[in-house]
Amino acid sequence: MFYREAGDFKTSYADDSQTFPIAFDRYRYYAVLAVALGIIPFVITDYWASAILIPFLIYAIAAIGLNILTGYCGQVSLGTGGFMAVGAYTSYKLMTAFPGMDMVTVTLLSGAMTAMVGVMFGLPSLRIKGFYLAVATLAAQFFLVWLFNKVPWFYNYSASGQITAPERLLFGHAVTGPNAEAWVKYLFCLAFVFVLAWVARNLTRGAMGRQWMAIRDMDIAAEIIGVNPLRAKLSAFAVSSFYVGVAGALLFTVYLGAVEVGEAYGIQKSFLVLFMIIIGGLGSLFGSFAGAAFMVLLPVALKVLLVDTMGWDTALATHFQFVIVGGLIMFFLIVEPHGLARLWSLAKEKLRLWPFPH
């Protein structure tokens, strides 16, 4: 009834190829934007920002990045944590070496640096496939974390080996550092999410995205019909790493503020982002958001339920959290291996006929 293509006539090519061709999708998108820009910044509190909203936005960027590589191009990567660390350390070096540089440039340059590193570690993907590649990307994970731990130049020879984000202003408001206000951090991350999601959406609809998907579905066949596997795979690695690097940089500068590399960007982070895209849905931008929201909300919800409501021991609740997260992942994979995005499209299918199913 509400969700339908019928009666939605397009009179120009521009109309037909717009990002959301179906009116209902478009209105939903405007509504989400209106809430995100018009309501949340005015009611946001520190708790909401640091527990839910900012991690959600940052992980959404990382999930989109990994989804481009794994979901769209079919190259499984377990090196996300390491690439995020590249973004974080690049932004740290830039912020300390060029105090005058503004945060947007710093973040984008961090992404660019990560893209270069990503391409380097993506080179073996031309020879190595499937699980062998997944394990090979672990080399990136372990090597990069080790590198940032062992080479003092990266953490400016600080005694603790940690990196701490100095305060930087954007339009007169602190974005990083302890004095940054919740709504500034939120809007800063939101801006990145908005632009990067829009770019990703259009990349995956365009020629490049089609090449990635052709490689994913069958690389030899794709090569035969004229897709250059070298360009397609490496461009996927570059774009994906750019996103992941931006997410890593934001995680450090805006969210955590101070970082110890093994703890913040360890192998657990790689798995976390991989869970997000699997639970959200491979090859779906909506899935990246849904998966990020799910994995960010789940521990918070469990903590509220077990510790705050039922008064359990924190250690015990942590153990339960493992059991529940593990169980939910298996449950999801059994019930809906294509993730939340598939559930969403099923719901849309139902909405199309509702309330007259015949």
**Does position 327 bind another protein by CB under 8 A?**
yes
The least distance separating another protein from the CB of residue 39, rounded to whole angstroms, comes to: 35
**Does position 325 bind another protein by CB under 8 A?**
yes
**Does position 326 bind another protein by CB under 8 A?**
yes
Binding mask 163-192 for another protein (x = CB under 8 A): ------------------------------
**Does position 50 bind another protein by CB under 8 A?**
no
In this chain, which of 134, 174, 191, 302 binds another protein, going by CB under 8 A?
134
Per the CB < 8 A criterion, the answer to whether 251 and 88 are in contact is yes
Cα–chain center distance at 169: 25
Which residue, 51 or 302, is less far from another protein as judged by CB? 302
**Does position 76 bind another protein by CB under 8 A?**
yes
Sequential DSSP letters for 259-277 = E-HHHHSSHHHHHHHHHHH
**Does position 195 bind another protein by CB under 8 A?**
no
List the one residue out of 144, 117, 120, 137 whose CA is nearest residue 75: 137
CA triple 132-111-109, angle to 5 deg: 145
**Does position 323 bind another protein by CB under 8 A?**
yes
Find all residues with CB under 8 Å of 264, minimum gap 6, and list them: 85, 88, 251, 252, 256
Which residue, 14 or 334, is less far from another protein as judged by CB? 334
**Does position 120 bind another protein by CB under 8 A?**
no
The 10 Å Cβ neighbour count of residue 358 is 3
CB pairs under 8 A, 24+ apart, for 3-6?
A: 3/348, 3/351, 3/352, 4/352
> Any idea what DSSP says for residue 149?
H
147 SS3 class: helix
Applying CB under 8 A, which part among 93-101, 168-176, 233-241, 274-282 lies near another protein?
274-282
The contact set with another protein (CB under 8 A) reads 76, 124, 127-132, 134-136, 138-139, 142-143, 145-146, 149-151, 218, 220-221, 224, 267, 271, 274-275, 278, 312-313, 315-316, 318-330, 333-334, 337
